[in-house]
Amino acid sequence: MQVTINVNGEDRSADVEARHLLVRFLRDDLGLTGTHWGCDTSNCGTCVVLMDGEPVKSCTVLAAMAAGHEVRTVEGLEGPDGLDPVQQGFIEKHGLQCGFCTPGMMMTARALLDRNPDPSEDEIREAISGQLCRCTGYLNIVRAVQWAAQHPAEAEQAPAQTAGSAA
């Protein structure tokens, strides 16, 4: 069946099986491999994307169900002026190690900050509680989101300038 989903602001279409999962549509058909998968039971949250602005687990949404909706992935976070503050916060606060859970965590953080620009630590922990991280023990993810909340428009630019500079 033909499905059309607005992904990161653009209508994207593909001919897919009804059982095609949204995460596979993003990864296999659109090549947006920043969205990962890590389980089959909607527990790990590495597949989280925003659907109509809210975090959903894209391994438990059929591509067909997402047709006609707006989906935003990690590839849609960076704007013309540079990284989203959430992305910069993860760099500044060492909020990632292997990077596998990171896109999902960042999408949830973006949705949280859109609704609540100044979340408490408890609110951040609650927001990411449907997503697992095996590397960071979560503290630096919390700090990364706090950094983003404190720097709403200060996202820096380009990797060349940020990589290898002092944290």
Partner 1 sequence: MTTVEESAPAPEPAAAPEERPIGYGRLRRKEDPRFVRGKGHYVDDIQLPGMLHGAVLRSPLAHARIVSIDTSAAESHPKVKAVITGATLEGLGLAWMPTLSMDTQAVLATDKVRFQGQEVAFVVAEDHYAARDAVELIDVEYEPLDPVIDARHALDPGAPVIRDDQEGRTDNHIFDWEAGDKAATDAVFARADVVVTQDMLYPRVHPAPLETCGCVADMDPVEGKLTLWETTQAPHAHRTLYAMVAGLPEHKIRVVSPDIGGGFGNKVGIYPGYVCAVVGSILTGKPVKWVEDRSENLMSTSFARDYHMHGEIAATRDGRILAVRVDVLADHGAFNGTAQPTKYPAGFFHIFTGSYDIEAAHCKVTGVYTNKAPGGVAYACSFRVTEAVYLIERMVDCLADELGEDPAELRMKNLLRPEQFPYHNKTGWEYDSGDYPTTLRKALDVAGYQELRREQAERRERGELMGVGVSFFTETVGAGPRAHMDILGLGMADGCELRIHPTGKAVLRISVQSQGQGHETTFAQIVAEELGIPPEDIEVVHGDTDQTPFGLGTYGSRSTPVSGAAAAVVARKVRDKSRIIAGAMLEIAPDDLEWEKGRWLVKGDPGNARTIQEIALAAHGVLELPEGVEGHLEATTVYNPPNLTYPYGAYICVVDVDPGTGAVKVRRFVAVDDCGTRINPTIIEGQVHGGLADGVGMALMEIIAFDEDGNCLSGSFMDYLLPTALEVPAWELDHTVTPSPHHPIGAKGIGESATVGSPAAVVNAVMDAIGVRHADMPLTPGRVWQAMHGGVGAPQ
Partner 2 sequence: MQVPAAFEYRRASSVEDALALLESLGEEARVVAGGHSLLPMMKLRLARPEYLIDINDLSDLDYLRVEGGELRVGALTRHRSLLESELVFRHFPIFHDAERVIADPPVRNRGTIGGSLCQADPSEDLSAVCAALRAALVVRGRNGTRVIPMAEFYRGPYETEVGPAEMLVEIRLPLVANAGSAYEKVERKAGDWAVAASGAAVALEGGRITQAGIALAALGAATVNSVRAEQALLGREPTEEAFAAAGRSAAEDCDPVTDGRGSAEYKRHLADELTRRALRRAADRAAVAALAAGAAGEDG
Question: Which residues have C-beta within 8 Å of that of residue 29, sequence separation ≥ 6?
Answer: 12, 14, 16
Quote the least distance from Cβ 130 to partner 2, whole Å. Answer: 3
Gap between the Cα atoms of 160 and 158, Å rounded? 6
Residues 109-128 contacting partner 1, CB under 8 A: 121, 124-126, 128
The structure tokens listed for 122 are: 């408890």
Sign of the alpha-carbon dihedral angle for 83, 86, 87, 92 = positive
Residues 67-86 contacting partner 2, CB under 8 A: 67
Question: Does residue 61 bind partner 2 (CB under 8 A)?
Answer: yes
Q: Binding pattern to partner 2, positions 33-52, x when CB under 8 A? A: ----x--xxxx-x--x----
Instruction: State the binding partner of 65 from partner 2, partner 1, none, CB within 5 to 8 A by kind.
Output: partner 2
Question: Does residue 131 bind partner 2 (CB under 8 A)?
Answer: yes
Residue type, 84: D
Q: What are phi and psi of 77, to 5 degrees?
A: -80, -45
Instruction: State the binding partner of 163 from partner 1, partner 2, none, CB within 5 to 8 A by kind.
Output: partner 1
Quote the least distance from Cβ 141 to partner 1, whole Å. Answer: 7
End-to-end CA distance of the chain: give it in Å, rounded. 49
